[in-house]
Amino acid sequence: MIILDGKKTSSDIKNEIAAEVISLIDKGMKKPHLAAILVGDNGASETYVNAKVKACNRVGYDSTLVRLDENITEEFLVKEIIKINKNDSIDGLIVQLPLPKHINEKKIINTISVEKDVDGFHPLNIGNMTLNLPSFIPATPAGILELLDRYKIETLGKNCVVLGRSHIVGLPISILMARNNQPGNSTVTIVHSKSKNIKDICRKADILIVALGIANFVTKDMLKEGVCIIDVGITRVKSDKTKSGWKLIGDVDFENVRDTCSYITPVPGGVGPMTIAMLLKNTLLASKSKI
């Protein structure tokens, strides 16, 4: 069994990006620049945004963090986004989700300029992705493709089962794995809350991508010998074995399945770290497309 080491891979990618930024600067071009908007003071959102800003610094990008009060109006946020859309010095813009309930997330995502939508959540980016046209691919699915690619895992003609149909992971990765691309060209089955006989379906999978958010959902009896498992789930559970009193576990019962699979992403340290790396990659792409 081979661990798909997202932490190491993500670090490799950041090094590659950092080297490319240096070469851009050497050519007299400007650094990529990511702007992030954070509304309110949700603790988890704060952590995520800070990690993104830190990652920008690490690879030599400029970054701008716009902090806005919880109580701003939707109209105010729209105006802030339009300002950034028009600001030529900024290449990529993300609005950290979730937003306060009085703000319509869909409207906000639609306001972000498609050329700066490095989260890849804009419907036009999703449409282009679906049609296999150039687009920003949402960071988590992009991270999964990158792991499969770097570990040279064959996807062509393989049975890929995706558990979960969320708009940011399950649905886009199901589309991406079925596209006529490398990685891709899998026979994809998408499974969700209304599906039946989930165990039987999983047992057919050569590649199993799990993005349900249900701790330890996948067990050995659901697997074919030699399956490659991508575990996107992260659940925080109490633990008496850690200093913090908490630990993170995935949607897959790692210890139970480890001898059955050929490849597996650990949690933490699998798909998670890849996400920020892919956001940086999208930002680089946005920056270069303007040259």
Interface pick for a second copy out of 86, 152, 194, 243 (rule CB under 8 A): 194
- Part of the chain binding a second copy (CB under 8 A), chosen from 169-177, 219-227, 250-258, 277-285: 169-177
282 contributes a contact to a second copy by CB under 8 A = no
Residue 224 found at the interface with a second copy (CB under 8 A): no
133 binds a second copy, rule: CB under 8 A: yes
Residues 234-263 that bind a second copy (CB under 8 A): none
Q: Of 55 and 126, which CB lies nearer to a second copy in the complex structure?
A: 126
- d(C-alpha 153, C-alpha 207), whole Å: 9
Q: Which of 5, 14, 91, 96 is catalytic?
A: 96
Answer for which of 128, 216, 219, 262 binds a second copy (CB under 8 A) is 128
Residue 52 appears among annotated catalytic residues:
yes
Q: Which stretch binds a second copy (CB under 8 A): 59-67, 82-90, 122-130, 241-249?
A: 122-130
211 CB neighbour count, 10 Å cutoff: 24
- Whether 106 sits among the annotated catalytic residues: the reply is no
Residue carrying the six token digits 């993500």: 10
Nearer to a second copy, 14 or 165 (CB): 165
Measured CA to CA, the distance from residue 40 to residue 119 in angstroms comes to 20
Q: Is 180 in the site for a second copy (CB under 8 A)?
A: yes
| Residue corresponding to tokens 């999983």 | 202
Dihedral-angle region of residue 60 (phi above 0 means left; psi in -120 to 50 means alpha; beta otherwise): left
Binding window for a second copy (CB under 8 A); candidates: 28-36, 39-47, 129-137, 210-218: 129-137
83 has catalytic annotation: no
Query: Where does this chain bind a second copy (CB under 8 A)?
Result: 106, 122-128, 130-131, 133, 156-157, 165, 167, 171, 174-175, 178, 180, 185-192, 194-196, 201
